[in-house]
Structure 1
């Protein structure tokens, strides 16, 4: 899909399409790289691109905040390093859903995330759920951590920034996320579902067009939408 979008765009031209058997040198000379591979391969691709001074858009899931911080430290230490834009989800609706969750987070102490993806997705929780939980944690600030009773029990999900995250991997599902917030006498659910991969097209093109202008390490498509959420890694 990404290749088709590039070939159809009047302002973009495909430099090279690499496979798992390609030499990473094939990306040299490109204005921007797009990594949509596998968590086990992504780190080497990002390191090569940044070292070569090529801005890169990373759509591969599985990047933890610790690993992103390591990349940020490398970029800071090299003036000629390419910028890195980590995009947990290219869907505009998904990005807005995470932003709405961050907006509501200070007003509810009970918050949990349920995310579902197709059975073939190899990582869990999803990058989108991790990003959403991190935004919730940051947004709560003085409100303190989310109330997560019995978090030591495995069935309570994985804690990400103090928020329990539950992952489903099911046939028949593309991508879904629900952020459920509980308060006195009420619940608020912020839900987003993806019906087809066409939902990602607008975000992919936006990231590719903006990446050459980016500096440092940026996390989240929301940083390109001026939503006022934390995005740049210092």
Structure 2
């Protein structure tokens, strides 16, 4: 059986990559390629919805899909803890539907974030530096936000990171107590450094995306998990078996 998929945001870089990937993958076909500005009536005629839009549009796409009774894979940035909590409450009313929100589809990035959550329990000094192309609208990135939130959650018994001089603008934006510094530059696809400082040592975890092809395995893993998903799933960790 072939699943009919609507890709919203298909005119963008990631959305276009996802749509082309889905079209050449057995068991799936793209039934609707929509831009972030198109109407969403076509969602009623598909089996699955993929949202690759922009932060201001994404919640509308997700709600339209849920109202049409369709599960959603979200690859759009901007889904912070507050937005995710609201979405979780919405899904509690829809026990037969699922939404998978993925801050980063790169397997390497997912693993780097997992390593960072482990290291966060052993270092009290932590900062994140993330870099993306100049065309990326939002900052900090969804990956950096998620990484900071997970590190702080892993430190629940230790308390939040106490970063110095955070009242100074040059010290970055605090996310879950961790300073995050965002760069938007030509020539960069994506890179994230999580830097841990300790007595007499520095640990730096770096992940660099060289090509959009690094997202393909993660997109397919999430898409294949989507029909059976229930409730809210954030990240690829559970899908990849990292939570086992």
> TM-score per shorter chain, which class?
over 0.9
* 2:115 paired with 1:100: yes
Alignment-derived partner of residue 60 in structure 2? 44
1:4-32 per-residue CA deviation (whole Å, 9 max, x = no partner) reads 11111112122211124532120113221
Taking structure 1 as the reference length, the TM-score comes to: 0.94
Aligned residue in 2 for 1:214: 229
CA RMSD of aligned residues (A): 1.3
Q: Does 1:176 align with 2:191?
A: yes
Match of 1:17 in 2: 33
Query: Does 1:164 pair with 2:179?
Result: yes
Which residue matches 2:165? 150
Match of 2:83 in 1: 67
Contact 2:193 2:206 in 1 (8 A): yes
Give, in whole Å, the separation in 1 of the partners of 2:152 and 2:243.
15
Distance 1:12 1:29 in 2: 14
> Which structure dedicates a bigger proportion of its chain to helix?
1
Aligned partner of 1:83 in structure 2 is: 98
Alignment partners' CA distance in 1, 2:199 and 2:35: 52
Contact in 2 for aligned 1:87/1:220 (Cα 8 Å): yes
Please give the alpha-carbon distance, in whole angstroms, between the structure 2 residues aligned to 1:139 and 1:79: 29
Q: Residues of 1 paired with 2:91 and 2:59: CA distance?
A: 14
By percentage of residues, which structure has more strand?
A: 2
Gaps of 5+ in 2: 1-16
- C-alpha separation in 2, matches of 1:32 and 1:78: 16
Of 207, 221, 226, the match for 2:241:
226
Give, in whole Å, the separation in 2 of the partners of 1:203 and 1:46: 20
The separation in 2 between residues aligned to 1:195 and 1:20, in whole angstroms, is 26
Q: Is the 8 A contact 1:61 1:123 kept in 2?
A: yes
Q: Distance in 1 between matches of 2:53 and 2:162?
A: 36
Q: Report if aligned partners of 1:39, 1:63 keep a CA contact under 8 Å in 2.
A: yes
- Structure 1 runs, 4 residues or longer, greater than 4 Å off: none
